[in-house]
Structure 1
């Protein structure tokens, strides 16, 4: 009995929560997908609101200008200034309130349901419940009042400081001033008359200039960020599971397997359907990291060689250079990010501290790679292989499952881990983000249409007398259209360039924010992410140009030039 007692192994205890327990993959997928969507929901609405608020501000300003004569009549009839201001404030209040309530209902009971179905698609889970969030609704109402009521009050109060007789007259045109470009004579003298007028008018209407630039820039930035996230998400799967991790299976061997059982395993690994295999020491570690929300599962791999090629590609994420285990321990990029360590820092895992010699490119999961020399230095002992990295000649899902079943039938095999579980985890997050980004891309396109149409319409309406004057003076229809639309084109180009720069940094910020603890999104984006926002804006400008040209051809010049004096 004493002999049997002495031979007993000290048991290892595993404590699981809902995310880490065997069979808890679905809970983890749901948690990761919902947290990523939640992170997007904290950033995108802010940018959307700022861009929409600029459009609302411009619209309310234009409304007050259009009602200038009526305000003068009311003032002449003896109405108090505060009563006239109240008219504009109430208009902004009701417009903002109705719009907010419609948006609140759509957000609570339409968009949220669509996004929830996207997350839970393919999961065995009941229908999501819809709740009404009073605090969010109050915030939305407050922000709508800032964008619609305050501008109405501010602009009308400023206008009504004038006397009634002045309000009854048309608003005098904005006076021009000498611009910096005029001082550059070698450029200015080479410009045509219409180009000189365009250059001066750009700075003559400063408010509209800024609104157009920032409105277009905001829309392009949102488009770039949405498409960029889609590109980053789609680029991970191929990069991670074909170029970085090139094995299909990790076969764990029992430590107490007999020589005969081990030989059976070796014979199975030598069969023709196995392309290559490598014995390694593998260990799973659970650790809490500074930047992680929960305990992280980390896979440690130890080899007797200087690298894991061709099964794992160890490359620096920035320079792309190959990393060697001779220099020391190499950790995956997301692990380094959560642990907040860089090359040369020390990291403590599994109760042992070691120096980080390199950080390798990796997008799904956490890994620690080392050779036998590093392991012996950290743990004070050498270790023997307990697992095999396996590459299959046919990496199809069916073949992977077939080989996994064959391996599990062997007495020497303790467990078989497939990359399919990591792929499934990533695809669940990727699919939900991809569809959600598509919704936000559509919203960004609609916002761009509203911005450019609104600003162009206001620009034409405010300068109709000026346009009629040059038309009477003999300008052709094309020249009249370009006289005013050339400004929109130039300002939109500036906005597009600013939007691409802003979108790039917004995209980099978002992919760092929305990625779950075990996933790092691919930072590079495809060429289409740059071309689509630019092409979309150019197409929108062309369509608006056709509309403006058609509108100006029908203008009654004599009616527009009539004086109300």
Structure 2
């Protein structure tokens, strides 16, 4: 290839060099593979999960909106939507929530429309019902009642009044299904029946229920058919659609009221006629006439008092699990923004060291080629082909592995929480191209940086070996008292460390980077795991929330406090308020006003997160949670705007900011509430503490309470805790991926740097072996240096890991969730032990390699 043309022989020489230094070539390839696999795989996970949800919602025709009314929905309501069928598809649904007395479950029994136009069920086992005596159950039913199987008999046994609303109550189970309305496995939403939350759903044929009106209208706007769910465009169009739906159905409330009044008056007609006829026959003071007139008057008052029904509008975000699924994908997206770049930065660092060593090793060959007349391009092309091949093969394999493994693994980790179908693999070409460019920069770019000096050198300079790095006096040597006490081997180790400063820096940074990623992985596990334990064990000391229709009556108080499970309760005003600010998504906040503020500390701990200093309610301001303060950038003394439905915005002064991890709250004293709202609070809820926790007894307690007039809902904290823990368990699997990947990178980094160190100093090592050092002593000569560098890397990695962990938490947090920012001491210990373990594995490999090296060949002169 004289003058710059590539010959077959020269190409063979390159291939021979790759084969000769296959360990180095493979280590570069492996580093690129790990970096690219991690980058493309994690980057693809969020979009893959969203794509799976998008395809599922589209295939099952998930409704975009739903409408309910306090008096049910009639054919008049569906007629309104029929007029707009160019814009919407709709479906009327009849269902009934029943408290199953035979299996202590709260079940929603819904009639399947003869043609499922919306919210089509996905059959997991069996088939859909075809006969009147057949039923299909939600998959959650089998999880809660394992005895339920295909062919089982299913009986509905509830209160007498509810039983009468069924034409039949005994069915044969013919299938198990999932509904697109409930992508989350555990939660099935709330109800006013039983314990207040639904356990599962059952679907039957039409005309099973005696209901005359529909319970819900499902609507699907056609303008959202090809819009990606969760996107900004979807949210904007959905807001317009909801307003449109409200506008269409607004006159219906008045019409329904008038229709019900007409029906009621028609029923009064016979009584009215009877009064008129009697008036013509008897005097006005006749007792029978007076009694009939009083009945007519009372009935007429009732007819005139018939209120307009309230129409309730909901959208997909109100479906259990729908928004949470998106939040979880966003967490993965947030992690994919920082972690892989950190990974690739370490890969680039190691490639630079490796390519530097390769150029130094082949100085003699470069000098020979230049002396023979080869151009700089021809001489440098060997390194470019070497690095380019490693980059291309590493990228190709990394993309194939990363895109196919990481999204599948992470999606499976979430599989225990959601009942969505398996994800489809997507190749995101922008990310793949970015990964390839980074891989080529890591190899070719670093090769060019290293070559620029040697290619300018004269052949005579290159044909002479580089003089070994000169030793230098260390500052430590001036500390004579200590230096004299060090052994000969320890002195050599310290001198060698500072003699090769680039290697020292690269090793320390490489190990620190891997250590930081492992600490972040373990730290994320701590932060996620601590949420449930801190929130439910340290901050909340109540076991149930009882919601009532107004102030507590004596009958309600007796019902709440009678069961053996009851320990104590706190009466408070509880309502939902919203907080809104430009640039921040609107947040729903629970406003709590305890009737007796001094007793609140027995149920809720309000404290400073770091100092644990206790906060108490005052008459001058409210206590809000830390995440809410962070979102709206408010500090103690600032004003926070809050809005109660149907009222003007009020401004609340922040008296203290308390530790909290799940959802948002604002606590006020009754006096401050009156100051802000200008009225006395209505204490419509109770926080209840139990003497012990037992699922069966808690459910029985909830059932007892819900039979009492005036009690609307009972939320059991054990159910809330179970749901939260399930979510956090799946996140732990995701964290495991980061720890394993960081560990794999640490192993490759240590192997690569140690291998370079040994190759660079093979003559030195051969000399000491010829002088009589044993194999173990030769290995220790290198190992001592490695151990010190690993120790320094671990120390730096601790600081770097703490910073990276804090950054990831800030990025991965959702609006309604705050991670616990602390990292447990054991997480640092585990990360350090793993790093040391990898260092020992590498040294074992090097010991075996050093034993096999021919020391006499290594000592031959290169002059």
TM-score, normalised with respect to structure 1: 0.92
Are the aligned partners of 1:291 and 1:339 in contact in 2 as well (CA < 8 Å)? no
**In the aligned structure 1, how far is the partner of 2:307 from the partner of 2:468?**
92
Cα offset for 1:301? 0.6
Cα offset for 1:105? 1.9
Aligned pairs (5 A) from 1:136-151: 136-151=431-446
In 2 relative to 1, CA 477–98 (structure 1 residues): closer, same or farther, beyond 3 Å?
Answer: closer
Aligned pairs (5 A) from 1:196-211: 196-211=491-506
Cα offset for 1:224? 0.3
Does 2:555 align with 1:263? yes
Are the aligned partners of 1:37 and 1:433 in contact in 2 as well (CA < 8 Å)? no
Cα offset for 1:52? 1.6
Cα offset for 1:10? 10
In 2 relative to 1, CA 68–13 (structure 1 residues): closer, same or farther, beyond 3 Å?
Answer: farther
Are the aligned partners of 1:32 and 1:429 in contact in 2 as well (CA < 8 Å)? no
Task: Report the secondary structure of 2:610's partner residue.
Answer: coil
**In the aligned structure 1, how far is the partner of 2:393 from the partner of 2:311?**
59
Aligned pairs (5 A) from 1:76-155: 76-155=371-450
Aligned pair partner of 1:26 in 298, 311, 321: 321
Aligned pair partner of 1:469 in 767, 791, 797: 767
Does 2:815 align with 1:513? no
Aligned pairs (5 A) from 1:149-168: 149-168=444-463
In 2 relative to 1, CA 6–184 (structure 1 residues): closer, same or farther, beyond 3 Å?
Answer: farther
Structure 2 unmatched ranges of 5 or more: 1-260, 262-299, 644-648
**In the aligned structure 2, how far is the partner of 1:113 from the partner of 1:394?**
41
Cα offset for 1:33? 1.2
Are the aligned partners of 1:85 and 1:157 in contact in 2 as well (CA < 8 Å)? no
Instruction: Tell me the residue number matched to 1:274.
Output: 566
**In the aligned structure 1, how far is the partner of 2:842 from the partner of 2:403?**
34
Cα offset for 1:424? 5.3
Does 2:831 align with 1:533? yes
**In the aligned structure 2, how far is the partner of 1:27 from the partner of 1:382?**
37
Does 2:638 align with 1:340? no
**In the aligned structure 2, how far is the partner of 1:534 from the partner of 1:273?**
47
Instruction: Tell me the residue number matched to 1:544.
Output: 842
Cα offset for 1:339? 1.7
Does 2:588 align with 1:302? no
Q: In proportion to residue count, which structure has more helix?
A: 1
Task: Report the secondary structure of 1:467's partner residue.
Answer: helix
Report the structure number with the largest CA radius of gyration: 2
Instruction: Tell me the residue number matched to 1:447.
Output: 745
Are the aligned partners of 1:228 and 1:507 in contact in 2 as well (CA < 8 Å)? yes
Cα offset for 1:538? 1.9
Does 2:858 align with 1:560? yes
Task: Report the secondary structure of 2:470's partner residue.
Answer: coil
Instruction: Tell me the residue number matched to 1:380.
Output: 678
Cα offset for 1:193? 3.0
Cα offset for 1:236? 1.6
Instruction: Tell me the residue number matched to 2:642.
Output: 349
In 2 relative to 1, CA 399–243 (structure 1 residues): closer, same or farther, beyond 3 Å?
Answer: farther
In 2 relative to 1, CA 290–184 (structure 1 residues): closer, same or farther, beyond 3 Å?
Answer: farther
Cα offset for 1:16? 4.2
Cα offset for 1:369? 0.8
Instruction: Write the deviation string for residues 280-304 of structure 1: whole angstroms up to 9, x where unpaired.
Output: 1101113335674x33221111013
Instruction: Tell me the residue number matched to 1:437.
Output: 735
Task: Choose between structure 1 and 2 for higher RCO, CA contacts under 8 A separated by at least 6 residues.
Answer: 1
In 2 relative to 1, CA 484–109 (structure 1 residues): closer, same or farther, beyond 3 Å?
Answer: closer
Task: Report the secondary structure of 1:455's partner residue.
Answer: helix
Are the aligned partners of 1:226 and 1:440 in contact in 2 as well (CA < 8 Å)? yes
Aligned pair partner of 2:513 in 218, 235, 239: 218
Instruction: Tell me the residue number matched to 2:785.
Output: 487
**In the aligned structure 2, how far is the partner of 1:233 from the partner of 1:559?**
56
Cα offset for 1:221? 0.4
**In the aligned structure 2, how far is the partner of 1:310 from the partner of 1:256?**
21
Instruction: Tell me the residue number matched to 2:23.
Output: none
Instruction: Tell me the residue number matched to 2:621.
Output: 328
**In the aligned structure 2, how far is the partner of 1:172 from the partner of 1:5?**
107
Q: Tell me the C-alpha RMSD between the 2 structures.
A: 2.6
Aligned pair partner of 1:399 in 697, 701, 711: 697
**In the aligned structure 2, how far is the partner of 1:433 from the partner of 1:291?**
28
**In the aligned structure 2, how far is the partner of 1:60 from the partner of 1:476?**
31
Are the aligned partners of 1:289 and 1:338 in contact in 2 as well (CA < 8 Å)? no
Instruction: Tell me the residue number matched to 2:6.
Output: none
In 2 relative to 1, CA 92–547 (structure 1 residues): closer, same or farther, beyond 3 Å?
Answer: closer
**In the aligned structure 2, how far is the partner of 1:275 from the partner of 1:111?**
48
In 2 relative to 1, CA 521–218 (structure 1 residues): closer, same or farther, beyond 3 Å?
Answer: same
In 2 relative to 1, CA 57–396 (structure 1 residues): closer, same or farther, beyond 3 Å?
Answer: farther
Aligned pairs (5 A) from 1:67-82: 67-82=362-377
Task: Report the secondary structure of 1:325's partner residue.
Answer: coil
Does 2:534 align with 1:243? no
Task: Report the secondary structure of 1:314's partner residue.
Answer: coil
Structure 1 unmatched ranges of 5 or more: none
TM-score, normalised with respect to structure 2: 0.61
Are the aligned partners of 1:217 and 1:498 in contact in 2 as well (CA < 8 Å)? yes
Does 2:351 align with 1:56? yes
Cα offset for 1:6? 11
Are the aligned partners of 1:470 and 1:480 in contact in 2 as well (CA < 8 Å)? yes
Q: Which moved more, 1:296-305 or 1:466-475?
A: 466-475
